Structure 1
Amino acid sequence: VNTTMAVWMGTTMNCAQCHDHKFDPISQEEYFRLFAILNNSQDADRRDESPTLKVMSEQKKEELAAKVEQIQKKIEGIKARNTKDFQPWVDGFAKAAKTIPVGFEKTGENEFSVQLPEGAFEGVSLKTGHHASPEAAFRLDRPDGKPGQDGRHVRITNIVRGGYLHLAEVQVFSGSENLAPKGKASQVSTGFDGPAKYANDGNTNGNYTGKSVSHTAKANDPWWEVDLGKEVPISQIAIWNRTDNGTAARMKKFRIEIFDNAHKPVWKRELS
């Protein structure tokens, strides 16, 4: 403080450090106000060389430039891939939607049955006419809740973190015939002497000691799957859980999926 005032203001402040002086225009309070300002500066009489200005060396500049170039190449590669995939996606919207009108049959007081066309379709549109109540609500359901889908692979997944999947039997019906025993079973892993084939051996006994229950090792979302050999119409799937020692409760939430020949999903349902 003293040096600053002597150099830049041409006056001394020595006396004001301790007390007001009748011949000094600067009071003790003003002295410490200036002291507070300087004490909160970056310098503040610290025992170092601050404030300093960091200057990057040539070697560091070259390293940074190389990293920037590497990142830029990655960005350009991502942009090139996204542009390639983006255009076909945009072109898909240029095609006019094809609508297929379908009729309905009244099957109850507030229930109607609609026969949808075979094959894949994007959505369902319902027009109510001019006399429908604005509070009306509609729901579209599959009549029996069954798959009704052609498929080759059927997968059961226990949705759990660090858990097991054990199945007494999985039945896959095409009409009245259970095709699962003819299929090839597999699972994410095998634990406790419970191979995958135990779950499609035709035996629904859920007691593990009966040697008819499949069992995986501990895993996240463990799964079991049966390959039916070819795509077939699947009308119903039945799952028999393990029943001994309260272990059935391990399957609190699970997923059933049907895949086609290319192992692409064509039907899925989660149950809990």
Structure 2
Amino acid sequence: MNKAKVALDLITGQERDEVHGARHKAVTVEMAAVTSHYHCAVIDEIQMLGCKTRGLSFTRALLGIAADELHLCGDAAAVPLFQEVLKVTDDNVEVQTYGRLSPLVPLEVPLGSFSNIKTGDCIVTFSHQQIYKFKQIQDGGKHLCFVVYGSLPPETRTRQKKMFNDETSEFDVLVASDAIGMGLNLDISRIIFSTMKKFDGVEMGELTVPEIKQIAGRAGRCGSKFPVGEVTCLHADDLPLLHSSLTALSPILEVMALSFVILMKICFNLVL
């Protein structure tokens, strides 16, 4: 928006870039202010209401942001839940459904070998150790790799994003964690899942349908230099789960994170 000469502040837990005279803000959900009034607010990835680690922040934003108009964007699996919740707050809800603006093609064959890597590819894995192991594909001399993961310093992440999207850059392949699923618009031609399992903090388990869709959807984004996105797996054994997940409906979200403090604030506001 700043490039379009619309002044915008950027506020996250790691960085703060404030523009003089800005009347618009882009913030991570954890940094959303619930004591200010807004004409319009947008919460992206609303299905994160059910997330074990970040769900409370999304619940706080949903119920706490004082906006005349609130747009909730994300997986349709969250619609029934927030419809029920917003009945309690006496808010009017209007649901609009949109399709993907560019095609996403699940491939029938796995990558098989890193010798089949091509420009615009992104290999997705779920541990720092694996990320840097796979980065060694550049040792073959055909490609140079960037790495992207959640705890990467924001200035480094921004710099690598710009260079990867630059057609004149020599860095043409990504090795990334599932951090690419949110908040990064990258010119990715093909997503390659190195595995369909990850550690959830307690145990190893298969990726969920929403997780697979979220990550796969990074390929061939509308407006990128790749008009068609492709997605596959490193190993053939993982292809059935990938294909079935991309055609499946996400399970309806039935519970959301809610703390006692948030509940008391809701009750207080309803009494008022």
Q: Same fold (TM over 0.5)?
A: no
TM-score (norm 2): 0.21
For normalisation by structure 1, the TM-score amounts to 0.21
Q: Give 1 or 2: higher helix fraction.
A: 2
Bigger RCO (CA 8 Å, 6+ sep): 2
